[in-house]
Structure 1
């Protein structure tokens, strides 16, 4: 079940703000009527999510957005993705982002991510082998971790980082030693058992492309790496069909058409 949404409160320290730079909320509890829902977490907290169904879809994509956006800023992309690939979309908010209360740390984000997976499997009665996990930038953290806990239909990682500490090392050098390591994607990558698509732009100035290359090399399941030459960290995935749309279509056979004999 889902419930009426509440407003967020609280703040976090400067280091957390660097790691999780939540934007000013771009939506309210009145936004996206019929599509903005709230699902229960195991500890009783509530998680704002966008649920965008597509009639007769065979797959559900659980989407984890980037670090400088929230559900409101992700809405149009999720709509396009639903219609383009003919899938259901469940997009998950992070604590401290949008209208979601709490502090944006690894534990809180994973609590929300697991709540979304529980909701998909137990409330929507959607099997894990019909779910694709999709994360961009910060969202590759919860996506990778969930992909080690479930065998799913597919995993999509856009601009993934090897770990939070390694990402900080690229920006501040040895000062990163004072940052608690979180979302150790490279360490977890060998435990992913699902088909995995990685897209990492060669012009990414925030997460260097070698992060994506290392994660790709560590994955032992069926995998595909796309490295668009002109793509930066915030380049639209819909700008060039060869960046994201065609790889999704070819690697995952989306949309999933069923043909009958005539």
Structure 2
């Protein structure tokens, strides 16, 4: 989601504009895959093979705690999934939608470190065109991808929605908000969220245009679960104002985490990040649910 040149802007609006073109220009940067999945004879289970570019930080023992497999999205793409067992008796499993320019191979070490510290298992997946997932990185695929991950998490591991926390980071907040606006879950974490693609490219945008990709701001009001918003005040990719607006639009927010001086890719390095997550998960989710009006399933 970098700034656009004058020629790119002209191309953007004269081609004519359509959501997939704008999305491709503003957001999707799939890296060269950092892993592969070797499946067994049934195709139901896989073995994770990491390359050096994954920068694995643990031993083979921790690697054994990771289960990988493929599922299929409604759009026909094969989606690579990763289940990381970080805790022996976790109350919650986090469905993590990662940021741009990474895949689940690169994120594996982070997932183990995060999950073990907040006592949660972590389930993640790669978007179409990322990692070992097939297809192209398109907005409509993004929504189908998280649907497939959500269904696989529930069916394969028998985890009920009230034990799932949806966590989206950067571009990952887009499918997270979409899913959370349609299904109830234990809670939602929006880490460096964006209001919409046009609002990132053109900060003065005050409305959602028909060709505006990723219109999360228009879906936020439909989220019925407790929401924690996290954003760095010096974010150079998605301006801090996006986090503020998303916080205002979500109906059931808890106290946000505004990380003073943090940019787009270093929020996790600040001590208050882990402390805020721990408090949210251990205390605030249940207290927030008790305070919310009873909703239908």
TM-score by length of 2: 0.74
Is 1:100 paired with 2:108? Answer: no
Q: Which has the larger radius of gyration?
A: 2
- Verify the 8 A CA contact 1:224 1:251 in the aligned structure 2: no
| Per-residue CA distance 1:107-135 (angstroms, 9 max, x = gap) | 11111100111112222111100000001
1:102 to partner: Cα distance:
0.8
Pick the aligned partner of 1:20 from 12, 23, 28: 28
- Verify the 8 A CA contact 2:81 2:124 in the aligned structure 1: yes
- Residue in structure 2 matched with residue 227 of structure 1 by the alignment: 258
Secondary structure at 1:67's aligned position in 2?
Answer: coil
- Residue in structure 1 matched with residue 295 of structure 2 by the alignment: none
Is 1:153 paired with 2:182? Answer: no
TM-score by length of 1: 0.83
Distance 1:14 1:157, change over 3 A: closer
Aligned residue runs from structure 1 range 127-142, under 5 A: 127-142=160-175
Pick the aligned partner of 2:70 from 38, 50, 66: 38
Runs of 4+ that moved beyond 6 A: 12-15
Distance 1:66 1:179, change over 3 A: farther
1:99 to partner: Cα distance:
1.7
- Residue in structure 1 matched with residue 110 of structure 2 by the alignment: 77
Secondary structure at 1:109's aligned position in 2?
Answer: helix
- Verify the 8 A CA contact 1:82 1:89 in the aligned structure 2: yes
Point out where structure 2 has 5 or more consecutive residues left out of the alignment. Answer: 1-19, 38-48, 51-62, 286-297
Secondary structure at 1:190's aligned position in 2?
Answer: helix
Aligned residue runs from structure 1 range 229-248, under 5 A: 229-237=260-268, 239-242=269-272, 244-248=273-277
Pick the aligned partner of 1:110 from 134, 139, 143: 143
- Distance (Å, rounded) in 2 between the aligned partners of 1:66 and 1:104: 13
Distance 1:137 1:178, change over 3 A: same
Is 1:166 paired with 2:195? Answer: no
1:43 to partner: Cα distance:
4.8
Point out where structure 1 has 5 or more consecutive residues left out of the alignment. Answer: 1-11, 257-262
Secondary structure at 1:215's aligned position in 2?
Answer: helix
1:224 to partner: Cα distance:
2.5
- Residue in structure 2 matched with residue 194 of structure 1 by the alignment: 225
Alignment size in residue pairs: 239
Distance 1:13 1:169, change over 3 A: closer
Pick the aligned partner of 2:88 from 52, 55, 79: 55
1:44 to partner: Cα distance:
4.7
| Per-residue CA distance 1:222-250 (angstroms, 9 max, x = gap) | 4221111121001151x2221x2111111
Pick the aligned partner of 1:249 from 274, 278, 283: 278
Secondary structure at 2:171's aligned position in 1?
Answer: helix
Distance 1:200 1:55, change over 3 A: same
